[in-house]
Structure 1
Amino acid sequence: MADFANGWLYEAGIGESRALLIENDEPAQIRIERSDGRARAGAVVDAKFTRQWVAGRSGIVTLPDGQEALLQPLPKGLAEGSMVRVVIVRAAMTERGGQAKRAKAQPADADSGLCEGPDLLAEIHASGLPVKQVHAHEADYFGQHGWHEAVEQAESGRIDFEGGSLLVSLTPAMALFDVDGPLASFELAKRAAKEVALALVRFDISGNIGVDFPTLQAKAERAAVTAIFDDHMTANCERTAINGFGFMQIVGRKVRPSVPEILQANRSVNAALKLLRQAERDRGTGAMRLEVHPAVANKLQPSMLEELARRTGRPVSVEPRGDIPIDGGLIG
């Protein structure tokens, strides 16, 4: 795709949609949207007020799909059991280990109509950049432009760069970046500042973020490092200065889970969706058998297998095997 060095690639996969932003023929951002039925940010729905959370300030509402959301602020006079029109301002999330975090909602404007909120394809179209949709029968353009390497970084939380590395740790409170490497502190911090900025954009990381740089005693050095971060940070956010212990905090508006939060939430789900992508691209004929770890087999929903059969024109079966690692599914 030499003629597509800048813009979005989009792939409507089975169970998830994927997007890859290419800038100057290099991967600049990846996005993943799972087909989990959760309300998207920007959706306007009629919800049932279930109970108060903080008296007079916030409450829990039940969305049409049965999921709960935190409503704040709480409209005056809203009685439990009544209906209220809300807008989803942050989608629900699943933290590492399976802990669910409710969506956040606000009262919708009086004239707001019901809507589902923009999906991934609509969001990347709204960027104004070119969008090219790719398909399984074509070459793996995602793979050719660094998709698999970026996904591995997001799953592992480790980002290597020349002279050092970043370790991204997800906590309920914030995403933490730890900077490590053999270089002198100032040189390592300068290189890391650029890589942190690029990583925040590449993996759609927002909300509360902390960066633990090497300790820099000189104020001028700390200022130089933050200037490098600012030069490469293209997302809308605010940051503090780097303090004397090397810590900088960044805050950006969070409307959905980041790519690392999606990919670190459930390893079996990741393996199932990866295998479905590989199976859809398989050029074999006749019946298809997916040999997988039992935990992965449990994530291969019947609707996914039916869609795989429809797309490939091949009957599909699943064989759970305890001797196969989670990430080692086979296509036969």
Structure 2
Amino acid sequence: MPAWYQGAAWLWLLWPLSLLFGLVSGLRRRLFRHGLKRVYRAPVPVIVVGNLTVGGNGKTPLVIWLVEWLRSQGYTPGVISRGYGGKSAQYPLTLSDSTTAAQAGDEPVLIFKRTGCPVVVGPRRAEAAARLASLGADIIISDDGLQHYALARDIELVVVDGKRRFGNGHLLPMGPLREGTWRLESVDAVINNGGPCEPGEHLMTLAPGTLRPVSGEGNAPEPGTSVHALAGIGHPPRFFTTLSEQGFILDRQLALGDHQAVTPAQLAGLADAPLLITEKDAVKWPGGHEHCWYLPVDARLPTEFEHLLLNRLKELNHGD
């Protein structure tokens, strides 16, 4: 776990840099707010799913849940993303069945494969949003981008890791915060991934699905089996705990950095038992293990959060 979450005293050496970061980011916000930097407004509503801290907090399961929920309400949603970890020859990049994680990043590919909705990635989210609207999306979900003020948004949702929360509460690089916690006061909803919740937060739980094969054939390992586990996500211990709660005996646990690619050398010592990985790792899996399975998860959110979204969408439609 990074020093931000361990109370490391040496981080105070970085306080001057955090002060500078706060001044620069604050100036940037004001330039957008007062119209001195251009803000693009898409022709359709935009929902931003973001966080205050660097690293993964559970945004991707929420984005997938939103796609499916919006469809159930009669919308035709699409997703835009920065495409972190991917490198394309040109942007904006519209994902297709042949798009790889190396081109678009692991999270956009995961979202596209799970939902089948249009997904466009690019460093300039305004361009990605314009492309997505031209493809027929009548509402846009921005995966990350809370601090990307060049794109106007109609609804802001912030995801908070219920266990790690905001670490030491300081801005980068002294702490994990991109913006101060004051920012929570201006968003439409705070979604707490895993709890415990603070007052006003909406609890999101992740329900594990059925193991699916990445490589190899045969039946998936059953609870009680000794397995190896690998996770390259924002908080790998959450995945390992899920497997343990399902009854698997974790012989070895390999925790990688968020978006980090798996190398053959890392797999060399994991061939003597079934290997369980996250769905995010599966979309960029290099091969090299004969019995590998991934565990999909589905977000579960309370009805009061659905009611909040319905009311906000009604307000937007009324405004049109």
Task: Sort the TM-score into its range (normalised by shorter chain).
Answer: under 0.3
User: Which of the two has greater strand per residue?
Assistant: 1
Which structure has the greater CA radius of gyration? 1
User: Which of the two has greater helix per residue?
Assistant: 2
Task: Report which structure shows greater RCO (CA 8 Å, sep ≥6).
Answer: 2
